Chain A
């Protein structure tokens, strides 16, 4: 019996690996996930009051340091707000006069709000399952944001009623990003140091970048064979530290993500236009 079960497991792993996303085993898994979906949603609803209580006390623990950090950010934002508004107004006038064709703003793209129905079950799994799928217009390559509009990851697999979201903290994630304050550009990847750690790679030493700067998606290609998965202007995080060594070709920029990957209960899927999907 035990040998039979182990053989079945090994056979499942082998077949699952060898077949494509549209293979028979993936199809069966998709049907199974659809069947389990109502139970997962039910469990989430039942546990919601307890999660709220846990969240309340958990937030209290970090409240003091978080308040100090937010106050610092608020002061910086107040200073930049006035000049930002004025610049935005001027930009609008200039764009109109030049008939400038800007790429679609993320704010104007259609979104699907959905619940997270399965969380990562081990430290290596950097993906979540959401309760929306191909029937809702969700496709592989769609960007996924948290309820505050911060980048969380991208859809990697979409079944009819569920979809798999690969988080930014997964090793396979790579996002073209920039510092809008200084226009420094790079690629945001997982730093392999826990869920609250990302790095901005390939930032030239000549570029200027400061601690506390905001990092947003650049909308540019990360690899030549792929169109950008992410529309321009989605907030990713802020620069936690910048280091520069003589032996390195690029700066070492550590980015703290805005999204809290361990507390995702609902997300927004941005339905990007066909030309902006991740496939060539």
Chain B
């Protein structure tokens, strides 16, 4: 039985990555965009541990980000919870055992996260610029996809593969 070792390991990974993201990575832009290591790590965790685990990890990461950046509490948490859940569902169905799953999941989640961020910030009355968001999207997508495989491999090494029942295959993507 891995409980609560898995949870503690994941919490530690998410905590370190989130602190690193808000303090350091967000200020490093290359070709107009920066890597979102929290999102990539969340995708890796959700692919390895499933939807519920992914959603909980996303919620935890989001609350940390909202607290550290003193932004509206719950906004990033909502987006990352949904991102973790969707990735987990993908892993439990179509994505399982597929080598390209981390790449597909990171690419799709990066796009959906950018759109979700735009919509949610617009809904809460923030000044949103679709042009600015989509201008930063291609480089962010590039960095995220480039980092997807190494981050996934590192997370798999730290967390290990999950053993359990195979879910019924449902066609989402790939």
Which A residues are closer than 8 A to B by beta carbons?
1-2, 5-6, 8-13, 16-17, 25, 29, 32-33, 36, 39-41, 43-44, 47, 51, 54, 117-125, 127, 129, 157, 159, 162, 164, 170-172, 190, 192, 194, 262-265
Contact = CB atoms under 8 A, between A and B. Distances in A.
A20 to B, nearest CB: 14
Interface stretch (B96-104, B129-137, B154-162): B129-137
Interface string B113-133: 000011001001011110011
Given A36-B64, A129-B70, A44 B23 contact: yes
A123 to B, nearest CB: 5
B26 A2 contact: no
Given A9-B59, A9-B77, A17 B24 contact: no
Given A118-B69, A124-B127, A2 B52 contact: yes
B136 A125 contact: no
Nearest to A43: B23
Contacts of A120: 26, 69
Contact of B59 (A5, A10, A118, A125): A5
A9 B21 CA distance: 21
B142 interface: no
A122 B117 contact: yes
Nearest to A48: B24
A124 B81 contact: no
A2 B129 contact: no
A117 B23 CA distance: 5
Contacts of B65: 121
Given A11-B74, A13-B78, A262-B27, 18 more contacts: A2-B52, A2-B81, A10-B78, A17-B124, A36-B67, A36-B68, A41-B23, A44-B23, A118-B22, A118-B26, A118-B69, A121-B22, A121-B65, A124-B121, A127-B71, A164-B70, A171-B127, A264-B27
A70 B117 CA distance: 38
A51 B67 contact: no
14 contacts: A11-B74, A13-B124, A29-B70, A40-B19, A40-B22, A43-B20, A47-B23, A47-B24, A51-B24, A119-B69, A123-B133, A123-B135, A192-B129, A262-B27
Query: For chain B, which range describes its interface: under 10, 10 to 19, 20 to 34, or 35 or more residues?
Result: 35 or more
A162 B129 contact: no
A9 B74 CA distance: 5
B67 A124 contact: no
B28 interface: yes
Given A5-B55, A17-B72, A118-B70, A124 B77 contact: no
Given A43-B23, A192-B129, A125 B69 contact: yes
Contacts of A157: 70
A243 B156 CA distance: 57
A11 B73 CA distance: 10
B23 A121 contact: no
A127 B19 CA distance: 17
A11 B59 CA distance: 13
Interface centre among B21, B29, B74, B135 (most CB of A within 10 A): B74
B73 A40 contact: no
B85 to A, nearest CB: 5
A51 B68 CA distance: 20
